Structure formats: structure tokens, C-alpha cells
Structure 1
């Protein structure tokens, strides 16, 4: 059951709406009585009274319709009734002036208020038009209406949102699916419209439509609309979470037709990408279980097309990717449900977007494990079958795939797991060293970043890993990378500094003129990255100790 705000108004809320409708009715009756008592201008006052009477009659009709309608969106009613109340109050103020003036002043007053009467008549006509539009919507039983109420004449989006929202609540399944599609189209690439849909009560009917299993087409339309509305909107995602709708979304993901699950998995991705609160709430609702199950399922035995089967897996893999981003609890759930083994198998056997999404999920899980030793030991223990399968596939991608979009997340994931490797591991270090010479600067830079995590002082086995890089001829490749004038040059310099600290007595470093290279790049890089000052100073000092004659020729760098 979705929590507050409740789509089913409580009795006291219904009474509050009736009271809000009763206010302008009583005010209107007062205006009519005063207009009848006014002496001049009699004709104008009588006309106003007649228009107010029509407005009051329509207000009473709204009361009757609302009292007999369940789950109706109150927001448009309150907006319209609020505007009607203001217009009746303006009418009352004008009528009062008519009653106060008399004698010689009456003629003068009537001349100066002709424009006022015209303005108030126009306002009352607008109020009547708004109420007629509202009654047409509510009486139509499906919420369809192509006209615009006067209140929305300057902002048609408002009327469209109201119309589609009422269709979601009152229409037939086909009409409701179309209304959800229209709301989704309005929300696409328009942040203001997303806020209007939320503020005008359009999100809750979409969530309710998503829950109902009678029409898969309507569920798909509702999920797609919610994806568009939640994209780049923290406030909408927060509203959905605080409405306790996440368990319902997970339930629909687990027991709906496959085409519905695709859209719902996309909704999970959109919400998880947008807000940490959503990620945590999805973890509590155990969304990892249906996602991993769908990824693992042999869908060849289900009434499913290859295209739809691929769509399901692509969307589920993306959802796992977005859920894993910086979320420890989500990563734990995924690894506990054998998600890593599933991801490894897909990386091995699939290609394209599905393979990429699985790689991105592994990359995010590894990034969280990098800063959490418990997860790293539990999920990526090298002797565990799942961890071994993942590492094998990451290394295979780095070595065999040519697409940088695939290589980069694999390299990042290996780098995040650097602390898991003890002693010399050339089978792991080797593929990374090879990528230092990649013609794609982004790939080469990521390899430098990953290797930096193997040889940084925080890594207990940094010396052994540094020796492995030397033995694999990594220094010449690194020095070639440093000759490329690129914004990511700093990563190669950090790697060189770590190597200088760990194996500074190496002849290779001397032969490749590592000291001269550091001296040449230290000052400009330090200007942009002052936090590296100490690292550069220590590396330069260390190399100076081991290279003959270096002290005689070295120029002070002010480090």
C-alpha cells in the first residue's frame, strides 16, 4: 500500500475539499443579496448577480460530482476554486461600493467604475468557463477534453496535465495508457513540465496504474512516463520513495510480463541514477533478486522473442550498474545473490550494450570494494569461483577487446581490486602494462591510474608490483606516454613517482632518464595539482640518491 500522499483521500480530506467549495458558494450568495439591494447602477449590479448565480450553480454541481467520485485528483479543483473565490471577492468589493454611494456622487461613481464592471464581468465569465471545463472533465467518465480552461489560457501545459491526470483516474484502460504516454511525452526533456506533473498530482495516478496488472500496455506506458518524469529530477524521485512506492515497483518487476519488466527495470535505473535515497530504498526492497534472476534466466524456454529477451537483460544489467554506484548495501546484495558470477558469464558470452552494462556494473561494485575491505574480501576473494570468473573476464576484455568503451571499465575494475593481489602477479600486471602503450590516450591513462593503485604506498605489495612493471618493460611505455601533452599526463607522472620511490635504484629508470623527465614536468603539473608537491619532491630526492652525478646537474625546482 502506497503511503502518503494518499491517492485515496481520507474523509477529513474530503470534508476539507467540500468546505473549500462551500466558501465561495456562501460568498456568492452574499454578493447576490447585496446586488439586489444596490440602487445604482442597478442594471450592472443585476447582471453581476446573474453571473454570480451561474458560478454558484456550477460550484454546487462540482460538489455533487466530487462527492460521488472516488480517487479524484483534488489539485485542479482547488486551483480553480481558489481562483473563483478571488473573483467573487472582487465582485463583492465592487458591489459594496455601489451600496455606499448615493446622491450627486452616485453619477460620478458610475462613470468612473464602468471599466471595473467590465473587468469583473470578464473575471466571472472566466470562472464560469473554468468550472464548466472541470465539470466536463469529471462528467465525461474518462477525463478526456481537448479544450483549454481560461485559467490555463496562458499555460496550456497545465490544462493538458490536468486532463491526462483525470484520464489516468477515470478513463478506460486504453485511454489511461494513452494518457500516461502523453504525460511522458510532455515530460521528456522539459524540467518545468516534470515539476508541473508532480505538483499537479500526476505522479500518484501513474504509480497506481503501474501497480494494476489488468493492462500490460498501460503498465508499460506508466513506467515509461515515470522514467521521463524522474530523469534529472531529485524531487520527483524523493516523492516516489517517500510515497512508499518502491516495494510496488519491485513487485511489478518480479511478476509482470517481460515487456513490462523492461520498462520497470528502466525506471529502477532512472531512479537509482538520480538519488542515493532511491538506491538504499531499492536495496531494502531486495530489487537485486529479481534483477539477477532475470539476467540469469534462460529465456529460451519462455513465449519471448530474441529481441525482447535482449531488452530485458540490457535493462536489468543497467539497473544493477546504476544501483551499484557508490552504494555499499546494494553491492553487498548483488554479490550475495551470486550476481558477480552472472555478470561474468554475460561479459564472456554477450556483446554490445548488454556486455557494456555488465562491465559497468562490475566496475561500480569493484569501486565500492576498493574503499571497503570487508566487501573486497567477501566478494573478490581470489579463490572464490565468482571472483575468479570476474577477474578472468576483466583481463580478457583488456587484452582482446578493441573498443575503449569496454576496455576502460575493465581496467578501472582491476585497478580498484589492486589490494587483493599479493606478491608478483604478472598475469594481472602484464595486460595493464601493455595498455600504457595504447594509441587511445584515455585507455593508456586509465592503465596508468590502475597501475598507480598497485604501486602506491598504501598497497602493502607495492614493491613487488613495481618490480613486475620493470620486468614487463613498463618503463619505456610509460615514458612514451609522458611525452604526450595531455590533460591526463598527471596520472603517468604519479605512476613514475611511485616507481621512483619503490625501485629508484633500477638501471632502467636511469637509462630512460626518469629524473630529467620528472624535473621537466614537475613545475607545470604542480601548478595545477599543488597536492602532488610532496610526492614529486620525494620522488626527485629518491632518484637523485641513486643516479651518479645527478646532484651536480640538478637545478632547484622550488619544491
Structure 2
């Protein structure tokens, strides 16, 4: 009885030994045949060729310097075993004689031809298999087993080359897999199913050449376009390898690797936490900070210690007043050892390696520098989204200061990605008071730098694409600002009247967080909104016949009415009438707002009835 070819408990040697034994039985049975001797002999010759090829494969597996790529071996050997069993069954029938021989002779001619064709296909499969293991480069011929699916043969050949070939051939094969993966999802799925992830990660980790690493990272990025495939990379222990390469590799290699991090983090939340455990944000922030210069080195301080002060004084004496983010973070890296016992700001060790990276950075073209920073900023954005651990680590590595500086001086995708990162960290801080206090304390230099840039982007009004995340970030941090911090409210009120409906709506949402009863300073912030003349643009927003703008505008108006129902501005704007007019449509879409509406309308009604005793009651 045949051993199941898909039994995963069998090692490759055992799986190859079964068809070898089966081939020996076929040859012996052919020698014992009493009828159709020539046909049996012809089959035996075919089987003997297969037996030699199988033994060559066993020797190759035993002597190869690299682990043999097993996937095509197992598929081809399993198919061959079925063909050998059919040959054995047919030849055993030829041991009959007499009347039985005459019965069987009627059907055996076609049967022999069919089995011979099957064995010939197995011979073609084995010739192809040995060729991909022995050849110097990739073999793009088609084995019979893949005649209906040539992509399968190419995938097998490329993976075998990546796992067992020479460096140049491995690089070329990785580039070919990247191209196949770019074509369609079926190819991506096939590469994963045929075991392509592990060899690509190995090629990436080895760092034999920048070209090989770029090819491997690009292939992995093209494969990692859905959750299941990202899970495959994580399960193959890809995250530690990726983070190591981010810290140790050349600038050009970090471009596709950072892109891979962004894709994995976006598609699989558990990957975010894996990257947090490996401290992936550290090399990303370090790359972003390359070449950046801050005007005041004291801004680098988080928790000031005697050690850090001594180090900074040494830097000032040596380098003058301006110092780079990287310089300081290397000098103060001892402060971060509670988070990473043996790594520094860029995720690497100090000394010659760090200087080498700096020198390499200086020689790179502006295009390469920009591209790697854009990708690293996007990776930070995706890592920080909804992740407390990654958001904390970005803040701990002085990442906020770096992000603020880039938002100030850069434009385009780099500025946007940094802004989105700040927004996502702010979103996490909105629901975590510890992060909010640690990262966004209003008197800390990094927080001040971030707030300044958020306000600047909000006020400039050059691009809604930038204004919206800036305004959202300010809104997320609403509970951070004390009552006396009025410089935040004014710009938001101005944007409440922005001609762009999305920007105006986001301003209403942000202001709603400032004046919400959940905000301890809601009364003072409400007063500031009214004093900055926020009621007129708010009433215009309510006139927009769209669900989003109208709802958020009405919520803001309700909060203001709760805190300042006696406001002349609300009275002059006929806020009560506006709320009553919007109540039915908004509450119908948002039933949870019914209580807020009722309380706001009641407050305004009570005030107006008290101020005007002869006023006719409003319809409710």
C-alpha cells in the first residue's frame, strides 16, 4: 500500500525512498512477466531511468551545501509514485497465462500505452527537477506536471534559485518573483503556498549585497498586499529580520524595507505589535532625522539628567550651537537603555558603523534621501495608527521633535506622512492619559514644536489635505490644553468658516472636543469660541444640506448652548430656531443625540423665556 505523499511527518529522504522501492518492485515484476514481455520490458526500462534519477536526487539532497528546495520534489515524487503503482498493477497482470491471458490481452495494449505515457511524463518531470538543482541560473523550461500552469514551474524555479543558487542568480530570481507578484493576486498566493517567503527573508537577512536585499524586500512588499500573506511573513519570523535590516542596511535598501513595514502594519494589527516588540520605530526615526538640524540643542531633552547635560555641553563645545538630532541622540542614548538594553537611536551600535552610515548618507542623491524619508515616515504613520506601544516609542525616541521639524521645513508626501503620524499618535493619546501627559505636556519642547506646526498648517490654509490631519490632531489633544491656552481656539474658529466643507467640518469636530462636557475646561473653551466670533460661521455650516457637516455643527452648537445659553451671540443667531429646525433630520440619523438636543433646546428655551417673559413658547 502506498504511503501518502502529502504526509508532512515524512522527511524528504523517507519520501524519496518509497518510490525507489516501488520502482524496484516494478522492475522485478517485469522480469517475471509471462505475457506481453516486450511491453513489460519497455516499461521496466522507463522505470529504471526513473530509479536512477531518484537516486541522483537523494545524493543531491545529501551532498548539497544548501537545504534542498523540497516543494517541487514532493509534488513530482507524489505524482510519480501514483504512476509507478499503475505500472506495477498492470505488469502483475501479465503473470497470468492460458485463458486469463487471452482476456487480458484484449485491453492491455491501450493500457500499456497509457502507462508508458504517464511514466514518460514522470521522466520529464524528474529531468526538469534535476536541471533546476544543477543549473547555474533559473530554468524556465516547463515540466509536464506544470504544462497547464507554466507560472507554477517558474515559481518553483525562482524559489529554488533563491534558496540554492549563486548570489547574482538569487538576486535575478528575487526580481523575477517581485515581477510575478506585481502581476496578480493568484501569483502572490502561489509564491506563498510554494514556500517562497522563507528564502526571500533569508536573502534579505544575509545582506550579501544591496541589490539582493532590495530585490528580496521588493518581492516581499509586492506579496504583502493582504492580511493572510502578511501573516505568512510574520509566521516565518520576518519581523525581527526586517527590523534588523532597517537598522543595519544602506540607505537604498531601507526604501523598500520601510515600504514593507508600512504595508504589513496597515494590513495586520498584530504585525504592529510585533514591530513594537522589536522597536522598529527607532531605526525609522533615526533615518528620518538624518541630516536634520535643530537650532536649540536643549530641545533634545526629555528627562534632563546630569549625564545628558554633560554630553550636550561637550557637543556645544565641540560643534557650536547647532547640533543634529542624530548627534544628540547618540550622545544621550544611555538614557534610553531602559527601553532597549543594547541599541542606540538608530538601532545600531556606536562607533565606526555609525560614522559609516553618516558618510554614506552624505554621498546619496537628494532623490534617494527624499524617497527613504517618505517611506520611513509612512511606516511610522502605519505603525502608530491605533498602537499605544509604537506611539509611546516614537515619543520616547524624540520622534515628535523630528516630526515637527520635518513638517516645518519639508513639503509634499514627506510632510503629509509626518503630519499623519502626529495625527495618529494624537488619536492614541486622546484615549490614553499617560501618553497624553508624557508626550504632549504643553510646556515640553517637543510638544510645543508639534503644536506650533499644527497651528501653522491649520492657519496657512494652502492645502485641505494637510489642514484636515492638523485640525484632527489638535482636536484629539483638546484635553491637553489649559483654559488659558486661547491661541488654539482662534485658528479653529477661523477654519469653521473655511470654504472647503471638509475643513470646516473638521474644525467643528475639533471644537466639539474642546467644548464637550467631558473636557474639564469646556466652559472656558466655549467662552473663547463665542468671543472669537465662532457663532456666525457655525450657523453657516448648519445650512449645508449634508449629513456630516450638519450633524457636527449641531453637536457643537448644542454644547455651546449648554454652557452659554444666555449668550447674546446665540440669541442674535437664532440658535434655538436653528436647533429646532435641524432636530428632526439629525436625530433621525443619529438617535443617540436625542438627549443632547433636548437638553440644549431646553436651556435655550429657559433663557429666552426668562429674558422675554411675554415670548410665545416655541414648538418642540
Same fold (TM > 0.5): yes
CA distance in 2, matches of 1:115, 1:440: 79
Gaps of 5+ in 1: 1-12
Moved more, 331-340 or 504-513: 504-513
Moved more, 254-263 or 360-369: 254-263
Q: Does 1:367 align with 2:427?
A: yes
| Structure 2 counterpart of 1:3 | none
The answer to whether the Cα contact below 8 Å between 2:39 and 2:112 also exists between their aligned partners in 1 is yes
Q: CA deviation at 1:526?
A: 2.5
- The structure 2 residue matched to 1:184, chosen from 173, 178, 182, is 178
Distance 1:169 1:304, change over 3 A: same
Q: Does 1:540 align with 2:534?
A: no
- The structure 2 residue matched to 1:17, chosen from 2, 12, 19, is 12
Pairing of 1:231-242 with structure 2 (within 5 A): 231-232=225-226, 234-242=227-235
CA distance in 2, matches of 1:179, 1:381: 51
- The structure 1 residue matched to 2:79, chosen from 73, 77, 83, is 83
Gaps of 5+ in 2: 1-7, 292-357
Distance 1:189 1:496, change over 3 A: farther
Pairing of 1:293-312 with structure 2 (within 5 A): 293-298=286-291, 302-312=362-372
| Structure 1 counterpart of 2:89 | 93
CA distance in 2, matches of 1:57, 1:504: 94
Pairing of 1:407-418 with structure 2 (within 5 A): 407-418=467-478
Give the number of aligned pairs.
541
| Structure 2 counterpart of 1:73 | 69
Q: CA deviation at 1:538?
A: 2.4
| Structure 1 counterpart of 2:443 | 383
Q: TM-score, normalised by structure 2?
A: 0.83
Distance 1:297 1:382, change over 3 A: same
String of CA shifts for 1:183-223, please: whole Å, max 9, x gaps. 11111252222222122111111111112223111111111
CA distance in 2, matches of 1:462, 1:475: 16
String of CA shifts for 1:223-250, please: whole Å, max 9, x gaps. 1111111122x23322333333322222
Moved more, 541-550 or 199-208: 541-550
The answer to whether the Cα contact below 8 Å between 1:168 and 1:209 also exists between their aligned partners in 2 is yes
Q: TM-score, normalised by structure 1?
A: 0.92
CA distance in 2, matches of 1:116, 1:484: 80
Q: Does 1:228 align with 2:289?
A: no
Extract structure 1 runs of 4+ deviating beyond 6 A.
none
| Structure 1 counterpart of 2:116 | 121
RMSD: 2.2
| Structure 1 counterpart of 2:488 | 428
| Structure 2 counterpart of 1:8 | none
The answer to whether the Cα contact below 8 Å between 1:433 and 1:447 also exists between their aligned partners in 2 is yes
| SS across alignment from 1:262 | helix
CA distance in 2, matches of 1:479, 1:149: 73
Q: CA deviation at 1:132?
A: 0.7
- The structure 2 residue matched to 1:326, chosen from 386, 389, 411, is 386
Pairing of 1:255-274 with structure 2 (within 5 A): 255-274=248-267
Q: CA deviation at 1:533?
A: 2.4
| SS across alignment from 1:34 | helix
Moved more, 361-370 or 222-231: 222-231
| Structure 2 counterpart of 1:47 | 42
Moved more, 392-401 or 260-269: 260-269
The answer to whether the Cα contact below 8 Å between 2:285 and 2:397 also exists between their aligned partners in 1 is yes
Q: Does 1:131 align with 2:126?
A: yes
Distance 1:102 1:521, change over 3 A: farther
Moved more, 208-217 or 16-25: 208-217
| Structure 2 counterpart of 1:5 | none
| Structure 1 counterpart of 2:541 | 481
Moved more, 503-512 or 456-465: 503-512
CA distance in 2, matches of 1:544, 1:93: 96
Distance 1:189 1:401, change over 3 A: farther
Distance 1:551 1:320, change over 3 A: farther
String of CA shifts for 1:20-59, please: whole Å, max 9, x gaps. 0010111122122223333344443333222222222211
